[in-house]
Amino acid sequence: MSDLGTAVIVEDDLDVRNLLEGVLCQAGFIVHTACDGRSGVQAVRDRNPDVVTLDVGLPDIDGFEVLRRIRGFSDAYIVMLTGRTDEIDVLGALQFGADDYITKPFRPREMRARIAAMMRRPRQGANQPGALRDSAAAARESQGVVFRHNGLVLDAGSRTTEVDGTPLILTRSEFDLLHALFRAHGAVLSRPQLIRAVRDDDHLPNAYISDSDERAVEVHIGNLRRKLRDDPESPRWLQTVRGVGYRLAQTKSRKIPG
C-alpha cells in the first residue's frame, strides 16, 4: 500500500500501542510512538505527523491537556481514544479540537475506516493555525465555491471563513459542518446527515451513528455559535429546527442609513 504519511501514537498501554502501530503501518503510515503525554507532544512537534492517536488517560498529563498543547502548533488529524464511556469525555475531546474519538476496546477495521474518512478531507487550510499548503493542493482548492450569507463568507476552495470582513478560525469539523449547511441552501439537515458530512460518509447512508455522535453535532453547533456570537433565540446564521436538525437562518435585510 502507498505511503499515506506519518502517524504518531500517544498511548501508555503497550498492547494497545502495538495494536495501533500494526493498524497504521498496514494502512500505509510511517509510525512513531510515545508512552506518555509530554513525549507525545514532543514527538508531534518533531515528526509533524498527518495523524495522531491520543489516549485520554496518560500517566503524566491527561489527553485533553496534550490535545490542547498539540493544537497550539499542529493541524494533524487527531483521534482521541478513551476507555471511559462517559459522554463528557467525548464532548470534551471535540471541544478541545479533536477530529474524532473512539472508545476502547475498538475494532481495527473501524479505526482504519475512521482514519480513511478523515484522510479524504483536505488536511490543511489557510484558516488553520500554522498550516502550510503545497502548491498542488492549493491549485485543486482554488476551484472551490464561495458562499455568502448574512455577512458570513465561506470559501470552500481555500477553506477560509470570515464574518463582516474579519477572519474566523474554525476546526476542520466545524468548517465541514458549516459547509454542509451552506450547500443545503436553507434546507434542514438532520443530525445524522451532518455527521456524515463531517465524516465524509455521504456515500454510506447506512453507516452506524451513535447517540454520542449526535451529541457531538450539538457540540460543534454550540462551538460555531460561540465563535460567530450567534444568538440561538434570534439567529443570524444557525437555526435549530426542534426535533429535526439545523438549517441556515433566513437572510436578514440590512437597514440603510438615511
Cell numbers linked to 247: 438549517
Q: Give the sign of the dihedral formed by CA 13, CA 38, CA 170, CA 32.
A: negative
Q: Which of 171, 13, 7 is nearest to 83 (CA)?
A: 13
Cell numbers linked to 160: 477560509
Per-residue confidence of the chain (258 residues) as pLDDT tens digits?
A: 446 799 999 999 999 999 999 999 999 999 999 999 999 999 999 999 999 999 998 999 989 999 999 998 998 999 988 876 566 666 777 777 888 888 888 888 888 888 887 777 655 443 343 333 333 343 334 446 899 999 999 998 888 999 999 999 888 788 989 999 999 989 999 988 888 877 766 545 556 666 667 777 888 898 899 999 999 999 999 999 998 999 999 876 444 444
pTM of the shown model: 0.60
Mention the CATH class of domain 135-248: mainly alpha
Helices (H), the chain: 14-27, 37-47, 63-71, 87-95, 108-119, 135-141, 172-183, 191-199, 211-228
- CATH 1.10.10.10 spans which residues of the chain? 135-248
- CATH 3.40.50.2300 spans which residues of the chain? 5-119
Pick the CATH number of 5-119 from 3.40.50.620, 3.40.50.300, 3.40.50.2300, 3.30.1360.10: 3.40.50.2300
Q: Give the sign of the dihedral formed by CA 55, CA 60, CA 66, CA 68.
A: positive
